[in-house]
Structure 1
Amino acid sequence: MTRDSNQLYSLSRRRMLAGLGAVGLASAGAGLGTSAYFSDEESFENNTLTAGELDLSVQANVYEYQGAANGGGQSFGGVQNGQAPTVAQQLADVKPGDYSWGAFCFSIVDNPGYIWAGGELAENDENGQTEPEMAVDSTTGAGNGELADAAEVTLFYADPSFDPGAQSRPSESSFSDVLFEGTLRETLAYLGTGVPLDADPSAVGRQAFTGTPEESFGEDVCLAFAWEVPTSVGNEIQGDSVEFDITFLAQQERHNDGSQVPFADAVVTSDPTGGVRETGSWLTAYINAGPTTAITVHLDGEVYGNGATEWPSNPNSYTMEVNIDVDNDGVDEAANDDDFRVNYGSAAAGSRSAAIANSSSGASGPGGAIRRNVGGTASGDAANRVDIAAEDVPGFTAYESPDQLTYVFILDWSQIAADGDAPTAQLGSAPDAIQVNEVFGGDGGEGVAAVPNSSNDGRGGIDNVTDPSGTLTL
């Protein structure tokens, strides 16, 4: 029996959860007294200290379009807090051309706070195969579905007045202040490190979300999203399903600087050795180590110079790189412990230009590259090192934010190990543990390594290499 590609696409559940952050309530009595050698005594009695509250609520407004299946589009929404039920999106019969977009807006009662977004891909199932799917898809079984890789997602900031139901089909002009663009799998890996949200992206430095006396969702920006299954997708996703969770966590602003990352397995930073803001670290990398490993690198533009426009000083030759040691041949082995080097760079950067020269897909322009280091007998040996463009390696994504202050590297180790092209084929199998040896940034010329730099206010030297992460189990 043959079925048309517009039939039997299903997505079992999309769960959008709002985490609840709370400081709690406490009270205490204290007495303060004074005494002297004489008999007179004064006291301050019945003193009470009561802790404030931090109560996070998340309002979700979502529009989804499935053509005739839902009457040409429908909206839903709700508020998730300590009393309300979970807001969830559950769609069946998803087809190429279907899309959805919406926004999460935030309310913090009492104390201002920092908010992080987290995410996790719970299931990505094949659910068996129809005859037309078998013809184009050789994978079977749970965890081998293609829907998570077929759905394309954009995360961006939106004004609190943003109304998904009143908008037409999402377009690039709708996406200002973009945080991330990628497949659903890649987006959830990016969220897996814990993404720090900014209440006012136009301001310098990360801004905490406003604390209000009562629940209110109109004070700060919202985290918006758009997803779509492109019409170019075919029978390979028939019957596939995905499940995922989105979580938000708030932490009080007072006595915190927002640098804590509640979802990351490890955080590595460069030393605060220079820059306009002497006490700041230029590089901070958040690592979520798992079968799909995500490494998010944030740059502090105020340390480098004056905000988002200073890096890279040389836009034609710059790179942001992560060096990774895998346990397939031991962690911290004597030679070639940078088993993988992954990076994002300009088209003229050494690794990217070499990757383009080796490309089989016609990769060009700025983008990612991956290098598998094998062979050699001493640390630093260059034996068997070949740069491959990210476009040519299934399971590897390198991403640069529009303001060039955030870089994301995502490695699906099983897909990379299964890649039949050299040099990634030499991995053999997915690792069980990794170590991030360092995260490094350089832009040549009068760039980050120059002391002083005429374009950066005569600043001192900036440390552009992070500390290692230590061994992380996947």
Structure 2
Amino acid sequence: MKTNSNLTRRKLLAGLGAVGVSTAGGLAIATEPARALDHTATDGDGLVLDWAATRNGNDDPGSVTDTGSAFRYSVSNLLPGDAGTLTVEMSLTDGTPDSIPRLAFDLTGTEENDLTDPEREAGDDTPNEGELQNYLDVTLFYDTGTLGVDVWGATNGEQDLGEGLIDPDAEGTLAEVAEALPDRGEEGVLLDANPTTSETEPLTDENSVTISFGWVFAGPPEINVTQTDSVSFDLRFYAAEVE
């Protein structure tokens, strides 16, 4: 969350980046350290999106293409156990009117690429449609830190204690989540700038909200059906002035 202090949230998180265990009242809280969001996109109307992506624990900006307020994410050539994240912090530039933040999700590509002999033997008979989207498990959640405390793992790409889904349907296979969530920004899931409280709050020029998208390819028993397959999907962020 933004602050008027000279010690900004980003500086604070960077200074605590090596901390993996915090304590509060004698309670030890273990979590992955906060991650710096080193890339920035803007929509030209006051919405700022700081972001970072990983694959198997390593930085992976190459899988993401940002176009101001949308991110195109593409994955292919996956092996069982592969996993990745995209973390995006939404904020407004100074003086931008309070806004309602939204997120839309659109599955844009499910390519077969090539129907190999192992795929055919595994029962794959769709030369123009891949199957990977049915075997990627995905989650979209508020990455606000354990129990809503920034220094306890905010922006780390891990779903920690107290970090809820952005929507009840924001968890499942990639195909299921894409089917359930809106695919247009202005009709997207209504986000809460302060999800740790009971009241839904708008985005202002003094706060921010962070969303993480996580995926994992566990590898189905019929693993060969996904050989050579790839998927592409868009995460579209939108902010409309409060009326």
Q: Is the 8 A contact 2:72 2:235 kept in 1?
A: no
In the alignment, does 2:40 pair up with 1:56?
A: no
Q: Is the 8 A contact 1:21 1:250 kept in 2?
A: no
Q: Paired residue for 1:152, among 122, 125, 137?
A: 137
Within 5 Å, give how 1:374-413 maps onto structure 2: none
Q: Is the 8 A contact 1:59 1:80 kept in 2?
A: no
Gaps of 5+ in 2: 1-39, 145-149
Measure the CA separation in 2 of the matches of 1:182 and 1:221. 23
Counterpart in 1 of 2:235?
246
In the alignment, does 2:164 pair up with 1:177?
A: yes
Q: Paired residue for 2:92, among 75, 100, 108?
A: 108
- Per-residue CA distance 1:88-123 (angstroms, 9 max, x = gap): 544442111100123110111221111110121111
Q: Paired residue for 2:220, among 206, 213, 232?
A: 232
Pair 197,88 (structure 1): closer, same or farther in 2 beyond 3 Å: same
Pair 145,175 (structure 1): closer, same or farther in 2 beyond 3 Å: farther
Pair 19,115 (structure 1): closer, same or farther in 2 beyond 3 Å: farther
Pair 19,163 (structure 1): closer, same or farther in 2 beyond 3 Å: closer
Counterpart in 2 of 1:133?
119
In the alignment, does 2:183 pair up with 1:196?
A: no
Q: Is the 8 A contact 1:108 1:209 kept in 2?
A: yes
Measure the CA separation in 2 of the matches of 1:136 and 1:59. 42
Gaps of 5+ in 1: 1-16, 23-54, 66-72, 213-218, 256-474
Measure the CA separation in 2 of the matches of 1:106 and 1:58. 5
Pair 114,104 (structure 1): closer, same or farther in 2 beyond 3 Å: same
The amino acid across from 2:84 in the alignment is S
Structure 1 residue 190 displacement after superposition:
2.7
Structure 1 residue 61 displacement after superposition:
1.5
Counterpart in 2 of 1:403?
none
Counting matched residue pairs gives 185
Q: Is the 8 A contact 1:118 1:246 kept in 2?
A: yes
Q: Is the 8 A contact 2:119 2:226 kept in 1?
A: yes
Within 5 Å, give how 1:203-352 maps onto structure 2: 203-212=197-206, 219-233=207-221, 234-253=223-242, 255=243
Measure the CA separation in 1 of the matches of 2:42 and 2:175. 21
Q: Paired residue for 1:20, among 33, 36, 43?
A: 43
Within 5 Å, give how 1:393-472 maps onto structure 2: none
TM-score by length of 1: 0.35
Measure the CA separation in 1 of the matches of 2:78 and 2:161. 23
Q: Is the 8 A contact 2:75 2:232 kept in 1?
A: no
Measure the CA separation in 2 of the matches of 1:120 and 1:175. 27
Matched-pair identity in % = 26
Q: Is the 8 A contact 2:99 2:204 kept in 1?
A: yes
Measure the CA separation in 2 of the matches of 1:19 and 1:248. 10
- Per-residue CA distance 1:197-231 (angstroms, 9 max, x = gap): 1101122332101224xxxxxx3331112100113
Measure the CA separation in 2 of the matches of 1:225 and 1:120. 13
Pair 120,18 (structure 1): closer, same or farther in 2 beyond 3 Å: farther
Structure 1 residue 195 displacement after superposition:
0.6
In the alignment, does 2:119 pair up with 1:120?
A: no
Structure 1 residue 58 displacement after superposition:
1.1
Measure the CA separation in 2 of the matches of 1:76 and 1:245. 16
Measure the CA separation in 1 of the matches of 2:229 and 2:127. 10
* Aligned alpha-carbon RMSD (Å): 3.0
Q: Is the 8 A contact 1:98 1:228 kept in 2?
A: yes
Measure the CA separation in 2 of the matches of 1:140 and 1:79. 28
3-state secondary structure, aligned to 1:134: helix
Pair 134,18 (structure 1): closer, same or farther in 2 beyond 3 Å: farther
Structure 1 residue 138 displacement after superposition:
3.3
In the alignment, does 2:68 pair up with 1:74?
A: no
Counterpart in 2 of 1:435?
none
3-state secondary structure, aligned to 1:177: coil
The amino acid across from 1:61 in the alignment is A
TM-score by length of 2: 0.65
Q: Is the 8 A contact 2:141 2:213 kept in 1?
A: yes
Pair 19,197 (structure 1): closer, same or farther in 2 beyond 3 Å: farther
Q: Is the 8 A contact 2:77 2:230 kept in 1?
A: no
3-state secondary structure, aligned to 1:140: coil
